[in-house]
Amino acid sequence: MELLTQLSEYSQSGCYPMHMPGHKRNPDFLKLPDPVTLDITEIHGFDNLHAAEGVLKDAMERAAALWGARGSYFLVNGSSSGILDALSAALPVGGTVAMDRAAHKSAYHAAELRALTPHYLSRPVDPETGVHGSLTPAEVERVLTEHPDAGAVFVTSPTYEGVVSDIRAIADVAHAHGALLIVDEAHGAHLGFSPAFPKSAVTEGADVVIQSLHKTLPTFTQSAILHICSERVDSGRIAKFLSYYQTTSPSYLLMAGMDTCVSLLRERGDELFAAYEARLRRFRAQMEGLAHIGLLTGDSPVTWGFDPGKLYFSLRNTTLTGEAFGRMLREEFCIEPEMTTADGCLCMTSIADTDEGFDRLADAVLAIDARLAVAPSRETPVLPDLPIAVCTPAEAAECPTEAVSLVEAAGRIAGEFIWAYPPDIPLLVPGERMDGALISTLVALQRSGVRLHSDSEGLPERVRVIGK
């Protein structure tokens, strides 16, 4: 079946999208004429994204004013290009970065491409849900004190599950050590538009903030933005590296969608977020009737802040895995979730969701919960301590590798990334030593239904390690 045919049939299936993109296939939020009539290149009068001085410059200035940034750049290659750009611009080749271990793999790719040495920032884990908590200023202080040559701190906030860190305090620590603060706010483009949500890192002291507009706002997939938020940032280097990591033929459809989204938020933001907040409040009130399934609230001693728009259902106290729960939503209730984990399931919401969509999800979760009996405690995969890094990702990339079974990989040095998609956060980074605990966790994750990936896609049979 051709892709267009399959997309058309799926759009008529009635399956409700509890996943990105944030327009939720709701035509009321992204009205554009026939895309064929709008698809152009950089013809006269339509500016150049890489040297904007006309209509695109004006559009990006409107975006900067909306979020309160000093300057903003449209990203047509998603947040990944913005993360690559920010780390490349902030640090010299061979530089050092204090990096959130819960970073998207594009940050690790930047470390490899620019021969950076990452020193990882660790997060506490909520014992009730197994979800990583907020990154603490004390942890940032520890790593920067141990590695005073770090020129940048890279933080993910909010996380996929909606956990927000104290960016203001982390910025103070980073700046006291002479380091830039780069925040991957891919999942938080909607933050700061309502008191019901945490503030955006753009206004909380970060130097560079990258947002995926398409994740939580009504824009087309692949639409993102990079904000320069302080005078510490060399905007010339930002612009230079954006020309490296972005196409020279940017889509005017994507850029028009972003500008349309900015206009929507300027004109109707207060109204739309008030309605969104009311829907979320009503939904969470309905979930108070759950007997077995848990719903993440952010009310945890390891969580500083929380995005209530992320609906993460914990299955830890049930006999269901996250994958089984997600399959039930899909097959029985025609609801497509964003992500399933070993013992959880994430549904993503936005201002474009409808009352009917929230009600369908509430009815489905309550119905599934009512079928469940009191479940005995079950073993769930727990990530072990961070593996020991024997060499940097860049050094590992230059080493010859061989494919071995997971059992044979014990004690060997990883020659490729291993991750789950989503959320695209590496469980193993090239250059790290694989021990028995890590291998046992990888096996347990696969048995629970989590789909693991590697660069060579040899899992579950094989993994590439650095040759002897």
pLDDT for the residue numbered 376: 60
**Of 295, 301, 426, 427, nearest to 349 (Cα)?**
295
Domain with CATH 3.40.640.10 in the chain: 35-263
**Of 222, 196, 244, nearest to 87 (Cα)?**
244
pLDDT for the residue numbered 58: 98
**pLDDT tens for each residue of 259-298:** 999 999 999 999 999 999 999 999 999 999 999 999 999 9
pLDDT for the residue numbered 204: 98
**Residue 86 burial by CB count (10 A; 0-12/13-18/19+): exposed, middle or buried?**
buried
Architecture in CATH for domain 35-263: 3-Layer(aba) Sandwich (3.40)
pLDDT for the residue numbered 36: 92
**Residue 263 is which amino acid?**
S
Domain with CATH 3.90.100.10 in the chain: 393-466
CB 282 within 8 A of CB 196: no
**Of 80, 122, 118, nearest to 101 (Cα)?**
122
Tokens of 429: 């980074």
Please give the torsion angle defined by the CA atoms of residues 99, 102, 105 and 107, in that order, rounded to the nearest 10 degrees: -20
Report d(CA 313, CA 292) in Å as an integer: 10
**Of 400, 413, 441, 389, nearest to 108 (Cα)?**
389
The Cα-based distances of 35 to 217, 284, 387 in angstroms read: 20, 38, 48
**Residue 79 is which amino acid?**
S
Helix (H, G, I), strand (E, B) or coil at 55: helix
Q: Which residues sit opposite 312 in a β-bridge?
A: 346
How many residues appear in the chain? 468
- DSSP assignment of 105-152 equals HHHHHHHHHTT-EEEEEP--B-TTT--B-PPPHHHHHHHHHH-TT--E
What is the pTM assigned to this prediction? 0.97
Q: Which residues sit opposite 129 in a β-bridge?
A: none
Overall CATH class of domain 393-466: alpha beta
- Residue 172 belongs to what H/E stretch? helix 167-176
Residues 6 or more apart from 227 whose CB is under 8 A from it?
Answer: 64, 67, 69, 70, 71, 72, 202, 208, 209, 210, 211
pLDDT for the residue numbered 467: 83
Q: Which residues of the chain have pLDDT under 50?
A: none
- Which long-range CB contacts under 8 A does 454-461 form with residues at least 24 apart? 454/416, 454/417, 454/418, 454/419, 455/416, 455/417, 456/403, 456/416, 458/403, 459/418, 460/406, 461/405
pLDDT for the residue numbered 384: 75
